[in-house]
Amino acid sequence: MTEEKRQNYAEKAKNLVAKMTVEEQAAQLLFDAPAIPRLNVPEYNWWNEALHGVARAGVATSFPQAIGLAAMFDTELLQEIGDVIATEGRAKYNANSAKGDRGIYKGLTFWSPNVNIFRDPRWGRGHETYGEDPYLTSRLGVAFIKGLQGDGDVLKSAACAKHFAVHSGPEALRHKFDARVSEKDLWETYLPAFEACVTEADVEAVMGAYNRTQGEPCCGSELLLRQILRGKWNFKGHVVSDCWAIRDFHENHRVTNSAQESAALALKAGCDVNCGCVYAQLMDSYKHKLVTAEQIAESAVRLFTTRYKLGLFDGSEFDKIPYEENDSPAHNALALKAAEQGIVLLKNEGILPLKKETLRSIAVIGPNADSRIALKGNYYGTPSRYITVLDGIRCLAGDKVRINYSEGCHITKDRMEHLARSDDRIAEALTAAEHSDVVILCLGLDETLEGEEGDASNASASGDKRDLLLPAPQRKLLEAVCGTGKPVVLCLLAGSSMDLQYADAHCKGILNLWYPGAQGGLAAARILFGEVSPSGKLPVTFYRSTEDLPPFEDYAMRGRTYRYYQGETLYPFGYGLVYGDVYAESTALAGNASAESGAKLRIKLKNNSKTAVQDVLQVYVKPLDSPFAPPNPSLCAFNKVSLAAGESREFELVVPGRAFTVVDDSGSRVSGGKRYCFYAGFGQPDTRTEALTGHKSAAVEISL
């Protein structure tokens, strides 16, 4: 969007708001802004969701949950997905508004993406994020926002980076919790993704978090909203509160004494839209001189600037997008592709891909084998068709292969039928396994077990996980089925790191499906039968347990995520196998390197197998001179690459200049020194990845 257009929209918004009374302006700051008929201003509801598809407003294409999209490690594909979501959002908006339906979840302001850092595997909302790494999250957040908003002079839709900032659990404490961090952790880990969303992607909105950060409630923070967001980063869009977060100011954080004071604190800090009801008290705040008319008008102008940017008053080319663009075959094909590319192969003792021509029977067992809810994650739309793992296997196995299905156990309870004995489906599961050549065992979680506080049904944990273990009935089923001696492939449907030590020791293969969207079962089957080679990588670390992790409430990065963790992981960040044997033979600097322009690496790759492979080339950096560098190498570049069977090929990958910097103890980004080691390969340069893949990363040392 050109600067001239921005100024034009802002001027139109200013002129329109000037015609409103103070009462009318204040009412426009509520998420369900009322109509102003005398000014031809229709009602508008700011609350809509599009985390992995248009959500909560009926039928829409269902993409994999965000953590599964992150596992693709593919910015181009994610931007394409964002564009498709915006297209469907417009198609639905056009149809709904034509019928006078302007209610909740029907607008064009999408409160996505969630770019919080998944710092602790117990956090229930981590599957809404792009994982644990600030660089990966930054690149994916920027790509998704560009897809949602487009690159024209009218926004296709308005994206929102959330939850600003230093927010990742515990869910049970979020309404009163104060997340205190060092300046180094703040600027090295928690803020980079938001900075990129604002300064690179020009995100239209930012949502504040529920908690306090450094003592201030995030939705009324002088530090976050004024000094950093609007000051240092020059953010020009609007800020929205998380839902009913401003009420927490006086009820839980106790930084104010009344709703009127809370409304004033948030407004003066620069929070423009209240998702909640506290801004209904703004006129009382105004009458008691807690806020000024100018402050109310300033927020109203920001909001109407967004509405003008969306073409909601002047019209746009997007008004012609027909309803048929929603849930189209092409969009569902893209959802299938995304699911395939995000599935991660964690283990393969030669059992995959399955050769159906040699199989007489397959056992498909487990509570997530035929589960629709396990496909969806949270913040989802309604798929017009679900393809569970059982459905997908049946579809591809053909008529000559018998499918023996058993649910095996309840996802959490010790029995399926209320009057039955405990473990009332295990005998059936064992029979199915014993009468089959191979077992596909589908275990894991769903949104009722890990998710947002108030949504998940594990009330005592409020959506978070207590540990990394599978629920007890599933652990019993896993051990029983593995005890039959039949080869077992575990398909895990979950949104986070799980303790898979038993499965790693006893299963022949393990596929991590995440919450793969409505096409997820077909994607899993295509990978199981070798129609597609897996290429997903872990955007989070799979720990062996939580025993050596810091307390959940501790926001310091020491001992957390692949950059700071010093123990041996089960499956490292960046790890994922393919159907083949690919590795980096060598890497070298191509040209000059500098902290301003970055560096270009020439990397020679080899596919030492008889099958074509798509994989994620990753580059990690370790500054060798700086005491401020994280203890482990950090991801600094990545790209999806394809290699034909037996092919050797050179790729060039650009490493940004930021890779030559570190964050010091004051929070300043400074030079990382003169010497750097860059590692290129298909995973981290750590001993565990080397042991799992059989290959070391190729390394090159660079001196500036």
Q: Which residues are catalytic?
A: 242, 450
User: What is the chain's percent helix, strand, coil content, to nearest 5?
Assistant: 35, 20, 45
Q: Are 495 and 450 in contact (CB under 8 A)?
A: yes
Q: Are 493 and 516 in contact (CB under 8 A)?
A: yes
Other Cβ atoms within 10 Å of 320 Cβ, number: 9
| β-sheet bridge partners, residue 46 | none
* Distance from C-alpha of 469 to C-alpha of 157, rounded to nearest angstrom: 40
Phi/psi at 9 (nearest 5 deg)? -65, -45
In angstroms, the Cα distances linking 157 to 17, 92, 147, 697 are 22, 12, 9, 41
Residue 639 CA to chain centroid, in angstroms?
Answer: 18
Q: Are 588 and 700 in contact (CB under 8 A)?
A: yes
Residue with tokens 């600037």: 305
Secondary structure class of 237 (helix, strand, coil): coil
**Which secondary-structure segment (H or E) carries 155?**
none
* Distance from C-alpha of 512 to C-alpha of 68, rounded to nearest angstrom: 9
In the structure encoding, which two tokens stand for residue 692, read together?
């799992």
Is the bond leading into 551 cis (omega within 30 degrees of zero)? no
Is the bond leading into 612 cis (omega within 30 degrees of zero)? no
648-663: b or e for each residue (b if 16 or more CB lie within 10 Å)?
eeebebebeebbbbbb
- For residue 420, give every residue at least 6 positions away whose Cβ sits within 8 Å of its Cβ, in sequence order, or none: none
Other Cβ atoms within 10 Å of 18 Cβ, number: 11
Q: How many CA atoms lie within 13 A of 663 on its CB side?
A: 16
Going by C-alpha positions, the residue among 218, 131, 134, 221 that lies closest to residue 174 is 218
In the structure encoding, which two tokens stand for residue 501, read together?
């030590």
Please report, in angstroms and rounded to a whole number, the separation of the first and last CA atoms in the chain. Answer: 37
* Distance from C-alpha of 290 to C-alpha of 157, rounded to nearest angstrom: 34
Q: Are 440 and 362 in contact (CB under 8 A)?
A: yes
DSSP 655-680: EPGGGGEEE-TTS-EEE--SEEEEEE
Residue with tokens 């850092």: 117
* Distance from C-alpha of 291 to C-alpha of 263, rounded to nearest angstrom: 9
